[in-house]
Amino acid sequence: MTQQGDSWWDKLYDESAPDTAPTVSGDTLDDHFDTATRATTGPPGGPPPDSVIPVDAKSPTRPAGPDPRAAAPAPVPAPAPKGTAPEPVPPTAPPTPVAPPVPTAPPAPAAPPAPAAPPTPTAAPEPPAPVPSVPPVPGRAPWEAAETGPRTFPAPPVEAPTVQVPVPPDPPVQDPDPKPGEDKEQDPEKEQASARADHAPTVQVPVPRPRTGFVGSRPPTYEPEPTALPVARPGELADVVADTVLDGARYGTCTLRAVSARGDSARFRGEPRRDALLTARFGHDEAALVLVAVAAGSRAAEDAHLAAADACRWIAEAVCRSHSRLSEDIRSGRRGDLKSGLHRLTDRTYGKLRARATERGLAPDEYTASLRCLLLPADPDCRTRVFFGVGGGGLFRLRDGAWQDIEPLLPERTAVTGAPVVGFGSPPAAPSAPSAPEATEDGDRLTMDLGITTAPGPLVEEPVPPPAEPFRFRASVARSGDTLLLASPGLAEPMRGEPDLARELADRWAGAEPPGLAAFLADTQLRVTGYADDRTGAAVWEA
């Protein structure tokens, strides 16, 4: 740029150079700024004494005193008389915008309340609680409100389990038969209906939660859920028994479900569960053997739950030591060897129970339990199921929708079996001549009547102990679709005494798929009036 251009640029933007306009018309940049300042701040004299300038509570307080930016207003020149030339305007500095002074002691207005937090969504709308006002904190922006409490968020909706159910199509409309001689054409609507039937839609239906029900005319007296826990003592916490034990497995062609639950009576009185359940697998692969042991203690014994647990544990230890031989005998079909071997293992278990009763200072019948077991081979080609045990209970089989009681029958104690022995039951020969009677009216045989009276027998003060429980054994071959149920006395008695319970379980377990653990527990918990003992059962579904 030339020297002339540089001089022009300096004169135009120099702050000390006066305005080059011929007259002061009030249209300069300084006049516009001065007019805008007076319009926003009021007259030059300041506000009247009784006026108050509001102060924003959210902004910092402005210090009292004159504003350094305040200055005297610029003088307005008087108009020149007519016929004279206008006098030049002396050069002056641009005026500074004037601001009125702030009152020294303005009254402090009340701080507005802070914005309330959004109310937490609840089931029923309630008025929001009042939030105390929070004074502004220096250095915090107006939109940054202080937090008054923990923030809450609504819980996600709980979705119930659903199952896909196909929707049946609408039934087709049957047209009347055509008259003889007329051809019946295929309706396109029927073709579309048949095509829709092949691809029927499905809907999601909520699955009902399994609940404990009852059968019979009225519900039982006790509550269906546990109420009181049994008493625990120091040093005996290892003997605490849980209210319910649930287990399951699948080996070969069979699916196992097992449960042991405390009865309603024991739950109400706070007594421990007297039944015991043990499921164990011994061995590997096809030679593996699954044992299910169910024991039930006597209700009159105080330590019945301990005796039942000992019986299950000791029979499991005996089977574990001989599982290889037992598995081979089952797959080979040697039932004689199985019966004698399992009988021997069961006798050893009860011998240990009698020894433990002596250690505790109890009678043998006060520390005992009924014991029933199932042996299931893991070989899918072997469908032999072996049952053995001692004491009461039940063994049932569900076949073709009906229950069969396959409990091994025991001979009556007074029954006489076998052929008669000579001299003990053979008919006597007909006498050729009358002679003295060979037997008395009581059946005693006489050899010679010497007239000697016999001494009375020894006096027995203690009652003779009852005979031992007989050993039970059964080996059966399962069919496809069968369900085998091994039950303790608390479950076997209502199965035999209440037909509604057996019918209800048959309807629930007749399907192709076995129930899950939760459903099986609900099934076995079907209550019956008059049966409140512990229930223990193991069911085996055959594929």
Q: 288, 318 in Cβ contact below 8 A?
A: no
For position 51, what pLDDT does the model report?
A: 46
Q: Are strands 535-542 and 254-261 parallel, antiparallel or unpaired?
A: antiparallel
Over residues 339-389, the pLDDT tens digits come to 999 999 999 999 999 999 999 999 988 999 999 999 999 999 999 999 999
Q: Which region among 58-62, 110-114, 395-399 has the lowest average model confidence (pLDDT)?
A: 58-62
Average pLDDT over residues 194-215: 61
* In the block, residue with structure tokens 């008087």: 78
Return phi, psi of residue 215, to 5°.
-120, 150
pLDDT in tens, 228-273: 898 888 888 888 899 999 999 999 889 999 999 999 899 999 999 9
* Residue 48 covered by a domain: no
**Is 30 a residue whose pLDDT tops 90?**
no
- Whether 200 shows a pLDDT value over 70: the answer reads no
Which helix (H) or strand (E) element contains residue 289?
Answer: strand 289-297
- List, in order, residues 6 or more apart from 215 with CB less than 8 Å away: 498, 500, 501, 504, 526, 527, 528
- DSSP assignments along 67-80, one per residue: -TT--PPPPPPPPP
- Work out the pLDDT band at 298, boundaries 50, 70, 90: confident
Helices (H) and strands (E) in the chain, counts: 10, 15
Q: Are 487 and 393 in contact (CB under 8 A)?
A: yes
CA distance 245 to 396: 21
Position 422 scores a pLDDT of 44
Question: pLDDT per residue over 206-226, tens digit each?
Answer: 656 556 677 766 677 777 788
* Residues 296/274, Cβ–Cβ less than 8 Å: yes
Q: Which residue has the tokens 């309630």?
A: 126
Angstrom CA distances, 21 to 14, 82, 89, 106, 153, stand at 15, 20, 10, 45, 70
Q: Quick one: CA dihedral 330, 335, 340, 343, positive or negative?
A: positive
Rounded Cα distance, 339 and 311, in Å: 19
Domain count, the chain: 1
DSSP letters, 490-516, are HHHHHHHH-HHHHHHHHHHH-SSSPP-
Q: Is 406 exposed, middle or buried (0-12, 13-18, 19+ CB in 10 A)?
A: middle
Greatest Cα pair distance, the chain, in angstroms, is: 199
Would you put residue 399 in left (φ > 0), alpha (ψ -120 to 50) or beta? beta
> Is the residue at 184 inside a domain?
no
Lowest-confidence region among 124-133, 274-283, 360-369, 407-416: 124-133
Q: What is the mean pLDDT of residues 415-432?
A: 47
Band of pLDDT at residue 460, cut at 50, 70 and 90: very low
Phi-psi region of 184 (alpha: psi -120 to 50; beta: other; left: phi over 0): beta
Does any domain span residue 130?
no
**Length of the chain in terms of residues written:** 543
Percent of the chain with pLDDT over 70: 51
Structure confidence by residue, pLDDT tens digits, 71-123:
445 555 555 555 445 555 455 555 555 555 545 555 555 555 555 555 555 55
In a domain, 319, yes or no: yes
Dist CA 384 CA 478 (whole Å): 6
Residue 76 has which token pair?
């307005």
pLDDT digits (tens, 9 = 90+) for 425-451: 444 444 444 555 555 555 555 455 555
Burial 474-493 (b: 16+ CB within 10 A, else e): bbeebeeebbbbbbbbbbbb
pLDDT at position 185 is 52
Q: Is 116 helix (H, G, I), strand (E, B) or coil?
A: coil
Total-model pTM: 0.56
C-beta of residue 535 within 8 angstroms of C-beta of residue 275: yes
pLDDT attached to residue 391? 93
Residue-wise over 497-533: b if at least 16 C-beta within 10 A, else e? ebeebbeebeeebeeeebbeeeebbbbbbbbbeebbb
Question: Is residue 203 a part of any domain in this protein?
Answer: no
| Mean pLDDT along residues 9-24 | 56
521 assigned to some structural domain? yes
Separation of CA 212 from chain center: 15
Q: Is residue 34 part of a domain?
A: no
Integer Cα distance of 129 and 122 in angstroms: 14
Indicate which CATH number applies to the domain containing 248.
3.60.40.10
pLDDT at 488: 96
**In the chain, what is the straight-line distance between the N-terminal and C-terminal CA atoms, in Å?**
105
Distance CA 58, CA 139 (A): 11
* CA–CA gap between residue 363 and residue 533 (Å, rounded): 24
Question: Does residue 109 lie within any of the structural domains?
Answer: no
Say whether pLDDT at 415 is over 70. no
pLDDT-derived band at 310, boundaries 50, 70, 90: very high
Which residues neighbour 504 within 8 Å (Cβ) at sequence distance 6 or greater?
Answer: 215, 526
Average model confidence (pLDDT) across the chain: 73
Q: How far apart are CA 47 and CA 374, in angstroms?
A: 106
Range of the domain at 251: 222-231+240-407+471-542
pLDDT (tens digit per residue) in 136-167: 555 555 555 555 555 554 555 545 556 565 65
Q: Would you state the pLDDT for residue 214?
A: 73
Confidence (pLDDT) at 139: 52
Question: Could you tell me which residue, 276 or 41, shows the higher pLDDT?
Answer: 276
R_g of the chain, CA atoms, integer Å: 52
Q: CB neighbours of 296 closer than 8 A, spacing ≥ 6?
A: 274, 275, 276, 308, 369, 370, 391, 392, 393, 488, 489, 490, 534, 536
User: Can you state the angle between helices 517-524 and 499-509, rounded to 10 degrees?
Assistant: 170
